[in-house]
A = this chain, B = another copy of it.
Amino acid sequence: MIIIPVIHVNMWKGISEDAVEKIIEGITHVFVDMGIPSQAVEVIVHEIPKSHWGIDGKPATKSRPNSIPP
């Protein structure tokens, strides 16, 4: 079976390279567990500045000033 999932992850900018790698590994593993070969899984991580991520009607820089990406 060759099925080809494409996953887009949207995260806050400033995430560490190590965290990006863990996200890619972990998400790919979910699909490998279902019998999909790892080379068929594409995980695309989009980094969005906190100023451009709105929650609660405001940029996260204002509504979540103390939260930082992993």
Interfacial residues, chain A to chain B (CB-CB below 8 A): 1-12, 17, 19-36, 38-39, 41-48, 51-60, 64, 67-70
Contacts and interface: CB of A to CB of B under 8 A. Distances in A.
Nearest to A11: B5
Contacts of A6: 6, 9-10, 42, 44
Q: How many monomers of this chain does the complex have?
A: 6
B70 A20 contact: no
B54 A24 contact: yes
A13 B17 CA distance: 16
A53 B5 CA distance: 10
Give the 6 A-B CB pairs with smallest separation, nearest first: A24-B54, A26-B30, A43-B54, A28-B57, A45-B52, A38-B57
